[in-house]
Structure 1
Amino acid sequence: MGYADLRELRTALSTAQDIAFNLDPAAPSAEQTAELVDALRRALGSATALTGEQGSTGCPEHPRGAVDPLHGDKDDPLPPGWGKCLLCNDRRRRAGTQRPSRR
């Protein structure tokens, strides 16, 4: 977070501005609007990263991801070191239940 996010924000906004000024005012093409949406999403992601917040999951990889519903479940607690991120916890669960492949 920090300088790299600010640089990405500026780049994405500049790209979005260039695309917006070059849109066909009568009927922008689907490709142009898709490029504009992509640039704006990158800008939004970079701006969000500038806040420095970890989001509701506390996960640096998926800060705005889904919260694991089993987090804090007293009947079936999560193993030590696991966080609230459903995506990371699901990956850990799958890694722990897969059988080694036979070759």
Structure 2
Amino acid sequence: MSYAEVRELQSALHTASDIVFGLQATPTDEESEQILDALRRALNLAHSLAGVHGGTGCAEHPRGAIDPLYGDAEDPLPPGYGKCLLCNDRRRRAGTQRHARV
């Protein structure tokens, strides 16, 4: 993990922490989304620590973001999808555009 990635991980964790410690009551929907986004970013960065070639197992984006839906038992990914968020997003968009034209 490079220095820049460590700083980004620290930033994501600090962002989530700042929002949580600044709460006065039940968080608003916007605050909840901000917390979730910061924690997802931190989790994806932490996943990238998994190996030398990155946590995605993707040849194109070995150090890319991990798809947060990967391994979700409630909503598993379709066959052919992997851990790479960038590739999975591209597949999702291609599928959406194909169906939208029909």
Q: TM-score, normalised by structure 1?
A: 0.53
Kindly tell me the number of residue pairs found equivalent between the two proteins: 74
Deviation, structure 1 residue 45: 1.1
Q: Which residue of 1 aligns with 2:11?
A: 11
1:68 to 67, 80, 101: 80
Deviation, structure 1 residue 41: 0.7
Which residue identity lines up with residue 23 of structure 1 in the other structure? L
**1:64/1:8 Cα in 2 relative to 1: closer, same or farther (>3 Å)?**
closer
CA RMSD between the two structures: 3.3
Q: TM-score, normalised by structure 2?
A: 0.53
**1:56/1:45 Cα in 2 relative to 1: closer, same or farther (>3 Å)?**
closer
Give the number of the structure with larger relative contact order, counting CA–CA contacts within 8 Å between residues 6 or more apart: 1
Deviations 1:3-45 (A, max 9, x none): 22111110000111000001232x2111111111111111111
Identity over aligned pairs, percent: 39
**Alpha-carbon distance between aligned partners in 1 of 2:48 and 2:18, rounded to the nearest angstrom:** 23
